[in-house]
Structure formats: structure tokens, C-alpha cells
Amino acid sequence: MEIIQGLKDIINQFDTFILDQWGVLHNGGQAFPHAIEALQFLQQQNKKVVILSNSGKTSQFSYGRLADSGITRDLYIDVLTSGDHMRHNFKQGKFNNLGKNALFFTWDNDTTVLNDCKVKQSSPQDADFILCSGVDRAGIENYMDDLHFGIKHGLELIVSNPDLVAMTPDGSLKMCPGKIAKTYQEMGGIVHWHGKPQPQIYNMCKELVGGWENAIAVGDSLEHDIAGANNADIASLFITTGIHSKEITDKKSIETLSEKFAVKPSFYVDWFKV
């Protein structure tokens, strides 16, 4: 693991840069100060740039969020989300055996995913499975009754965003669907994961950009971005100012955290910058 000052230190080693969105480019608000400059630098160097996001929403939604942050569409080839990954698996028939009635968790009453996946929302008593694409209740304790019901009745859980937490524009952390899924798995439930660090999404990503010789994944989550890169056998750049920032003081603390998550970043840097 090597500390770098910015992308200039490694630019000649890689042809493809796989970028996380939240924690690398923005936290839901404006793009980080150095992020647009870094993207422009990659464009000038003729590098392939793809954004790989653990978001339960689609790439179409991400285009708008990125534009709102100040990141224009010409600065990256495309976006691939964990929500796209899940929708792909529904379309391919992976979950046909589970039925069509979902005990549904979402953000802000957004039900578009139900139509996308051709399933319908139901009561717990009528549910064939649990579909977790968002968090609208404050705290995991507010989901426990439903999760215990699911365990009792053998419901499998499909999650579209495996992140446990995400940073908000003010720097605080909010709970994400992955927390619900991880809790359910720890209770003994069957969970179908999507997004990083699942190997399938890296294969989808490679196909999306037309292949690569030497790729590097950039992200702030050791459990998802760095683990995913390790699983895909590509290099990784760990951004230390993201979700782990309060646990990081020096290189030794990064090494300790990496051991905790059983991952090996190739490089680390404070911000995504030139």
C-alpha cells in the first residue's frame, strides 16, 4: 500500500478508472473541489472513466444527480449502479422462483423499482420475499418486526444497495439498505446482494467500457470499493476522507482498518484529485 499525492503519480499505470460516486465525487451536494479537475485530467489523458455506484436507483437517475453536482456527462463513459445490477438479474429471471409479491422497503415512497422489476408491493402476510431498495424508517430497530416475520416465514431478501451507511452533504452518516440486509443475514436469512463487491458487477462494468488492460477502482469504502477491486483482481485507490475518515489518523490506522476488512488497497490518498 503506497501513499500518493494525486492521480498524476499513477496516471501512466492504468487505462481505466472505475470511480465510486458518493465519497469520491460528491456526498449528495456539489462536487468536491478537486473532483471536476481530476475528471478533466483523466479526459485529457484519454483514460476510460466509468462510475460504479452502490445506488439502488438507476444510471439514469445518477446522470441527473451528477449533473446537479456540476459533473457534466462528457466527463465519463457511463454509470453502472447496484440498482442496475439488481434490475438486470430480475430481467434475466434470476428471482422468478421467489414469486411476485414483495414486502417492500424504499426511500421516500419511491415505487418505480416495483414496475422495473415487474413485482408488486404486498403486506407481510402475503409477501413472497423482501425487496429492500431504501430506508425510510429511522434506525434498524424500526425494521425488526418485519425482519423477524421474514425469518419465521422463510422469506428471502433482495437488496439493491449493499452500503451500510453513506455520507450526507453535512458530513454525517445515514443508514443505507445494506444495514437491513446485513442484519437479516446475521439473523439467518438468505440475502441476494447486488453491487460492489460482487464480482458480477465488475464483469458488467468491463463490458460497458469495452474492456480494459489495467484498471483501477477508486473508492472510500474498504468493505465495498476496495474489497470489490480485490475480488476483481484489479488495483485500488482508497480515499481516506470518506466514510472511514473518523477512524483514520495515519498509515498504521489504515493498515489496521484494512486488516479488519481483510482487504489490500494498492494506493491511498486523501481526496480524489490531480
CATH at 133: 3.40.50.1000
* Domain closes at, from 171, 192, 213: 192
User: What pLDDT does residue 29 have?
Assistant: 87
CB 267 within 8 A of CB 239: no
- pLDDT number for residue 174: 82
48 vs 127: CA distance, rounded Å = 43
Element (H, E) at 52: strand 48-53
| 91 located within any domain | no
- Summarised one tens digit per residue, pLDDT across range 19-71 is 999 999 998 889 998 999 999 999 999 999 999 999 999 999 999 999 999 99
pLDDT of residue 198: 95
Looking at the structure, do residues 203 and 80 belong to the same domain, yes or no? yes
* Res 113 pLDDT > 90: yes
The letter for the amino acid at 82 is S
pLDDT score recorded for residue 205? 96
β-bridge mates for residue 129, sequence order: 102, 156
| Same domain as 56, residue 134 | no
Whether 54 is in a domain gets the answer: yes
Count the neighbouring beta carbons within 10 Å of the beta carbon of residue 113.
Answer: 23
Quick check: 233 pLDDT over 80?
yes
Are residue 72 and residue 100 in the same domain, yes or no? no
- In the listed set 192, 215, 243, which residue is the last one of a domain according to the structure? 192
In a domain, 89, yes or no: no
Give the total number of structural domains in the chain. Answer: 2
**Domain end position, chosen among 123, 157, 192:** 192
Please give the residue that has the higher pLDDT: either 28 or 81. Answer: 81
Average pLDDT score over the chain: 94
Question: What range does the domain containing 109 cover?
Answer: 96-192
Q: What is the pLDDT of residues 125-180, one digit of tens each?
A: 999 999 999 998 888 999 999 999 999 999 999 999 998 887 777 777 788 999 99
104 and 186 in one domain? yes
Where would I find the beta strands (DSSP E) of 93-148? 101-105, 120-121, 129-132
Same domain, yes or no, for 115 and 182?
yes
Question: What are the φ/ψ torsions at residue 18 (nearest 5 degrees)?
Answer: -105, 110
